[in-house]
Structure formats: structure tokens, C-alpha cells
């Protein structure tokens, strides 16, 4: 995970197109400039970055389901709950399920766990749009390969 670059997911561990399900791993780095201010002497992962981690997994799910033909663009979240702190060095397991897809939008539900402990959960909505440039579409497909 490289927080400064918003690279939240380290690996995709499972992908099931039939069930609309993905599982991923994110290793929280031991050190990051993010932790210098959040919080001095007691670093914790910002809640908004936990949501972003679930968004990234949702994006990977939708890229896989649509064979990288559409760009999943985050447009909203509901029922976001942050239940516990995440600290540097912890390993987060992210799971996301597709709830609904239609009319150019999708809704997913995600969770983050550290060990067996539920850390965060959210329902996310994404717009599935054409890539704004062919270069971006090609780069996304290259990274997904």
C-alpha cells in the first residue's frame, strides 16, 4: 500500500465473476507521511482511507466484471461504519460484493477485517463510464493484466 499515491490494494486474492465477489489484501505501511499528522505519537489509518480502500476493491471488481471496458467512478457511499482503529503494520482483508448493476451505475457492499475483527463496512455507488482517454483505458488494462 502506498498511501501518498492512493494505491490502496496490494493484491487481489479471489475474484468470482458469477457471484460478483472480490477479496483483496492491503498491508498498512509502517511509515507514511499520512501518519505524521494523523496523529502525532499515535498513528492511525484515516477513516476516509478505509473507505477508499473498499472503493478500490469495488473498482477492481467492476473492472473484472466488465473486462476493463468501463471506468468505475466513485459517486457516493451509504451506511459507512468505522468500528476500530487500524494502525501501521496491520494487514487488512477487504471483501466486496456486487449488490446491483444497471443504468450505468453499480452498488457494492464492502467490509474490512484485521484478523477476524470487523474494522469497517460501507455501501458504495459507482458510475460505470467510458474511459475519458484511450490512454487511460490502455493503462488500466495493462495494470490489470
Give catalytic residue positions: 38
How far, in whole angstroms, is CA 2 from its chain's centroid?
Answer: 13
Report which DSSP code applies to 86: -
Asked if residue 95 lies in contact with residue 23, where contact means CB atoms within 8 angstroms, the answer is yes
Instruction: Work out the widest C-alpha separation in the chain, in whole angstroms.
Output: 47
Three-class SS of residue 8?
coil
Amino acid at each position: 500500500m502506498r498511501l501518498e499515491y492512493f494505491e490502496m490494494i496490494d493484491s487481489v486474492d479471489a475474484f468470482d465473476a458469477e457471484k460478483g465477489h472480490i477479496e483483496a489484501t492491503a498491508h498498512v505501511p509502517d511509515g507514511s507521511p499520512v501518519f505524521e499528522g494523523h496523529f502525532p505519537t499515535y498513528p492511525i489509518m484515516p477513516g476516509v482511507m478505509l473507505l477508499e480502500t473498499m472503493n478500490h476493491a469495488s473498482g477492481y471488481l467492476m473492472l473484472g466484471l466488465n473486462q476493463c471496458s468501463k471506468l468505475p467512478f466513485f459517486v457516493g457511499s451509504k451506511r459507512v461504519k468505522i468500528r476500530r482503529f487500524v494502525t501501521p503494520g496491520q494487514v487488512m482483508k477487504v471483501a466486496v460484493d456486487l449488490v446491483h448493476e444497471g443504468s450505468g451505475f453499480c452498488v457494492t457492499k464492502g467490509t474490512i477485517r484485521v484478523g477476524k475483527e470487523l474494522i469497517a463496512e460501507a455501501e458504495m455507488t459507482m458510475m460505470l463510464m467510458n474511459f475519458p482517454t484511450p490512454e487511460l483505458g490502455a493503462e488500466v488494462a495493462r495494470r490489470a493484466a
